[in-house]
Structure 1
C-alpha cells in the first residue's frame, strides 16, 4: 500500500496547488468548466485534496479510491460534453 499512500499524497498536493497557484489550472479547467472557471478550480482543488488525504489512511482508502474513480469519470464526462457542445 505504500504506492497508494504516495499517490494519495501527490493527489492531495495537487489539490492544495489549486489554491496556491490557481492560474496553473485555468487552461485545463476551462475544458470542463467554461463557466465560472475560478470557482470550479477551487471546488476541484478541495475535492482532490480530500480524496488524496483519504487515500493516505488505510481506514478511508477504499472509499477514497472509489471516490477518485467516480470523480475522474465525472471530470472526463464534463470535458467530453463541453467539447461536443462547443460547436
Structure 2
C-alpha cells in the first residue's frame, strides 16, 4: 500500500469515526452548534455526522477520492464556526477544558491541508 493510499484511508477513518460519534454521543456536538444557525442543534449534529460518513466513503473509494477529499477540505473550513462557538462557550471552564477548546481552533488548518493533499494525490488516478 502506498503512502498516499494509507493517508487517504486514515483520513477516511477519521471522518468515519467522527461521523459515528455524532450519532453515538450527539449531546457534546449539539453544544458546539452556533446559535445563529436556524433549527435545532441536534438536526445540525446529525446532518454533519451524515456528511462526515458520506465524505469518509468518498475518500475511501479511489474513483471518488479526489472530489470527496476536496469536499472534506471545504467541510473542515465550514465546521470551524462550531469550534469557535465551543471556545467562546468554554472560556470560563476549568483550564484543561478551556485549553482543549482553544487548541481545536488551529487544528482545522492541518485537517484542511491533509484533505487537500489527499485530493492532490488522487489526481489522475480516478
Unpaired runs of at least 5, structure 1: none
Residues 1:24 and 2:67 aligned together: no
Question: Per the alignment, do residues 60 and 13 of structure 1 end up closer, same or farther by CA in structure 2, a change over 3 Å counting?
Answer: same
Distance 1:21 1:73 in 2: 22
Number of the residue aligned with 1:56: 60
**What's the C-alpha RMSD, in Å, of the aligned pairs?**
2.5
Compute the displacement of 1:75 (Å): 2.5
Distance in 2 of aligned mates of 1:55 and 1:8: 6
Q: How many pairs does the alignment contain?
A: 80
What's the TM-score, normalizing by structure 2? Answer: 0.54
Cα offset, 1:34, TM superposition: 7.2
Preserved CA contact (<8 Å) 1:55 1:65: yes
* Higher relative contact order (Cα pairs below 8 Å, separated by 6+ residues): 1
Between structure 1 and structure 2, the one with the greater Rg is 2
Is residue 9–residue 59 contact of structure 2 (8 Å, CA) maintained in 1? Answer: yes
